[in-house]
C-alpha cells in the first residue's frame, strides 16, 4: 500500500519483519509441544527460545538472499533461523507443512488488523454520537431521489450513520472470530506426521482457535467473509461521505468539510472549497470493495491444496486492511470537524413555499371525509403551482384560497398542518433506539 494512505500501526502488521516473527513463534510453540510429546528433544525447544530471548533482529535481506536460491520462502526462513540458532534448530517444522505456518500467520495478522479496525470504528461511533446529539433537533430537509421530501433533523442523519457503523462493528467482531483459526495439521491436513495436540498448543499460545477440519490449508470461505465484511464497511464509509459531498454543494451548503487556514481548494480558482476528503473516501471505498471478489474466488481451491490464493492474499491482506484503517480514521476526522450550517438548513427547508408539508394536508383532508384520490388531486394541483413558481408562492395560502379545500378544512386547520415541530415529535424515540436511554 502506498504511504499516502497508510497509518503506521496497521502497516507494521504487514511488514516482513512482523511476518517472520510470527512464523518463529508458530515454529517455536510447535517445537515446545513436540518436546512435551517426546517427539523432539527438550533442548531443541529451549535453544529456540534462548535465542529468541536475545531479541534478535530479523535480517530480512539475508532471508531474501536464501529465498533467491531455494525459491521457497518458508524454507529460506527456516534455513536462516538454523544458521542463527545452531544444530538444535533442525528439529523445527517436524511433521509440519508450509501452509501450517503461512495460514496460521495470516490468521494472526488478520485478527490483529481487525482489532485496529474495531478501534477505528469505536472512535468513529463516538464522534458520530457526539455530533448527532449536538444536532439532535437541528431541522433540515429530508430528500428522496435528491428532491425535497419532508423535514428531518441533522442529528437523525448522523444517527442513521451511527446505527450503520454499529452494525459494521458487530459484523467485524464476528468476522474476526471466524478468521482467527490455527491449522497445524501437516500435509493434506490428516495429522499423519504431527499430533493434534501440537495444533491445540500453538492455537492457545497465539490466541487462536484450532481449525475443526483443514485440508492442507484453512478453508478460504473464512477469508472471503472477512474481506466481504470489510467491503460492506467501505460501502458505509462511502454512503456517509456521499452525504457530506452533496451537502457541501454550493446550492445546498448545509454542511462542509473543515477548511483549514492556508488550505487551497484549486490551483486556478482561489474561491474554491472542495470536498476533497470525502471524495477521497469515495475512491478508497471503491478500492476496498474491489478486494472482495478476489477473496470470493479464492474459496474454490483444488483438492487439498493449491497456491492460486497465495498471490491474491499477499495483495489484498495488507491493502484492504491498511486502506480501510486509513479511511475510517479520515472519516472520523471529517465528522469531528464538520462545519454545520443550521441557518442554511432552515432556508432550504423554507425554499419551496411549504411543499414539504403536503402529506399532512393530504391526510387532514382524508380525515375530514374527502376521498384519498380527491385529497391527493386537490393538494397536488396547488403544490404544482408552488413548484412552477420556484417556491415564490405559498402552498398554505393557495390551499386557503381553494374552495374545494376550504369546504373540508378551515384556514386555521390548514395552517396547523404546516407546523415544523410535528415532524420532530419522535426524534427522542429514535435516539433512544440508537443510543440508549442515556
Q: What is the full DSSP assignment across 266-312?
A: -SS-TT----HHHHHHHHHHHHHHHTHHHHHHTT--STT--SHHHHH
Cell of residue 60, nine digits: 530480512
pLDDT of residue 134: 98
Residues of the chain above pLDDT 70, percent: 100
Let me know: does 111 contact 176? Beta carbons within 8 Å.
Answer: yes
pTM of the model: 0.95
pLDDT of residue 438: 66
pLDDT of residue 84: 96
Let me know: does 229 contact 319? Beta carbons within 8 Å.
Answer: no
User: Is-catalytic flag, 6?
Assistant: no
Degrees, nearest 5: CA angle 19-23-26: 140
Backbone angles phi, psi at 131, to 5 degrees: -70, -30
266: confidence class by pLDDT, cuts 50, 70, 90: confident
Count of CB atoms situated within 10 Å of the CB of 250: 8
Cell of residue 141, nine digits: 430537509
Look at residue 437 and tell me whether its pLDDT is greater than 80: no
67: confidence class by pLDDT, cuts 50, 70, 90: very high
SS (H, E, C) the chain: CCHHHCCHHHHHHCCHHHHHHHHHHHHHHHHHHHHHCCCCCHHHHHHHHHHHCCCCCCCHHHHHHHHHHHCCHHHHHHHHHHHHHCHHHHHCCCCCCHHHHHHHHHHHHHHHHHHHHHHHHHHHHHHHHHHHHHCCCCEEEEEECCEEEEEEEHHHHHHHHHHHHHHHHHHHHHHHHHHCEECCCCHHHCCCCCCHHHHHHHHHHHCCEECCCCCCCCCCHHHHHHHHHHHHHHHHHHHHHHHHHHHCCCCCCCEECCCCCCCCCCCCCCCCCCCHHHHHHHHHHHHHHHCHHHHHHCCCCCCCCCCHHHHHHHHHHHHHHHHHHHHHHHHHHHHHHCEECHHHHHHHHHCCCCHHHHHHHHHHHHHCCCCHHHHHHHHHHHHHHHHHCCCCCCHHHHHHCCHHHHCCCCHHHHHHCCCHHHHHCCHHHHHHHHHCCC
Cell of residue 295, nine digits: 477473496
Cα 415 to Cα 411: distance, rounded to the nearest angstrom = 6
Residues 6+ apart with CB under 8 A from 362: 372, 375, 376, 379
Q: Could you read off the pLDDT of 332-366 as tens digits, one per residue?
A: 999 999 999 999 999 999 999 999 999 999 999 99
What's the length of the chain?
438
Q: Could you read off the pLDDT of 301-318 as tens digits, one per residue?
A: 999 999 999 999 999 999
- Given the residues 144, 145, 260, 303, select the one marked as catalytic: 145
Backbone angles phi, psi at 280, to 5 degrees: -60, -40
Rg of the chain over CA atoms, in angstroms?
A: 30
Cα 209 to Cα 107: distance, rounded to the nearest angstrom = 10
Q: Could you read off the pLDDT of 77-110 as tens digits, one per residue?
A: 999 999 999 999 999 999 999 999 999 999 999 9
Nearest CA to 347 out of 55, 98, 141, 43 is that of 141
Q: Could you read off the pLDDT of 117-128 as tens digits, one per residue?
A: 999 999 999 999
Give the mean pLDDT of the chain: 96
Let me know: does 405 contact 374? Beta carbons within 8 Å.
Answer: no
Residues 6+ apart with CB under 8 A from 57: none
User: Is-catalytic flag, 266?
Assistant: yes
Cell of residue 63, nine digits: 532471508
3-state secondary structure of 27: helix
Q: Which secondary-structure segment (H or E) carries 152?
A: strand 147-153
pLDDT of residue 38: 96
Per-residue DSSP letter, 421: G
Cα 33 to Cα 205: distance, rounded to the nearest angstrom = 11
- Given the residues 15, 72, 266, 389, select the one marked as catalytic: 266
Amino acid at each position: 500500500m502506498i504511504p499516502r494512505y497508510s497509518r503506521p500501526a496497521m502497516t507494521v502488521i504487514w511488514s516482513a519483519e512482523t511476518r517472520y516473527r510470527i512464523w518463529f513463534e508458530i515454529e517455536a510453540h510447535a517445537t515446545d509441544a513436540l518436546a512435551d510429546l517426546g517427539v523432539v528433544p527438550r533442548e531443541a525447544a529451549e535453544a529456540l527460545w534462548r535465542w529468541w530471548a536475545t531479541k534478535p533482529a530479523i535480517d530480512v535481506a539475508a532471508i531474501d538472499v536464501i529465498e533467491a536460491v531455494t525459491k521457497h520462502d518458508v524454507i529460506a526462513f527456516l534455513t536462516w533461523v538454523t544458521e542463527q540458532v545452531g544444530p538444535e534448530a533442525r528439529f523445527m517444522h517436524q511433521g509440519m507443512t508450509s501452509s501450517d505456518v503461512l495460514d496460521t500467520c495470516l490468521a494472526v495478522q488478520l485478527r490483529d488488523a481487525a482489532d485496529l479496525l474495531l478501534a477505528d470504528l469505536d472512535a468513529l461511533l463516538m464522534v458520530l454520537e457526539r455530533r448527532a446529539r449536538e444536532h439532535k433537533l437541528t431541522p433540515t430537509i429530508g430528500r428522496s431521489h435528491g428532491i425535497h421530501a419532508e423535514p428531518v433533523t441533522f442529528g437523525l442523519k448522523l444517527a442513521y450513520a451511527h446505527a450503520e457503523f454499529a452494525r459494521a462493528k458487530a459484523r467485524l467482531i464476528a468476522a474476526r472470530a471466524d478468521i482467527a483459526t490455527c491449522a497445524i495439521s501437516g500435509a493434506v491436513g490428516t495429522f499423519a506426521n504431527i499430533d493434534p495436540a501440537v495444533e491445540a498448543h500453538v492455537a492457545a499460545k497465539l490466541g487462536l482457535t484450532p481449525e475443526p477440519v483443514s485440508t492442507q490449508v484453512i478453508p478460504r470461505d473464512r477469508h472471503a467473509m472477512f474481506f466481504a465484511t470489510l467491503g460492506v464497511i467501505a460501502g458505509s464509509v462511502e454512503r456517509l461521505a456521499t452525504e457530506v459531498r452533496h451537502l457541501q454543494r454550493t446550492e445546498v451548503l448545509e454542511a462542509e468539510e473543515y477548511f483549514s487556514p492556508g488550505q487551497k481548494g484549486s490551483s486556478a480558482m482561489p474561491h474554491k472549497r472542495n470536498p476533497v476528503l470525502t471524495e477521497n473516501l469515495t475512491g478508497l471505498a471503491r478500492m476496498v470493495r474491489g478486494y472482495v471478489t478476489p477473496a470470493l474466488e479464492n474459496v474454490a481451491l483444488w483438492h487439498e491444496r493449491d497456491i492460486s490464493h497465495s498471490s491474491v492474499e499477499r495483495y489484498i491482506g495488507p491493502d484492504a486492511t491498511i486502506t480501510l484503517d486509513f479511511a475510517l480514521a479520515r472519516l472520523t476526522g471529517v465528522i469531528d470537524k464538520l462545519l454545520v450550517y443550521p441557518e442554511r438548513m432552515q432556508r432550504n427547508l423554507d425554499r419551496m413555499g411549504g411543499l414539504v408539508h403536503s402529506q399532512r394536508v393530504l391526510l387532514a383532508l382524508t380525515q375530514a371525509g374527502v376521498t384519498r384520490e380527491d385529497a391527493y388531486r386537490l393538494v397536488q394541483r396547488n403544490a404544482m403551482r408552488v413548484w412552477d413558481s420556484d417556491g415564490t408562492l405559498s402552498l398554505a395560502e393557495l390551499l386557503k384560497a381553494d374552495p374545494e379545500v376550504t369546504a373540508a378544512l378551515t384556514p386555521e386547520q390548514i395552517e396547523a398542518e404546516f407546523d415544523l415541530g410535528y415532524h420532530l415529535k419522535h426524534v427522542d424515540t429514535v435516539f433512544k433506539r440508537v443510543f440508549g436511554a442515556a
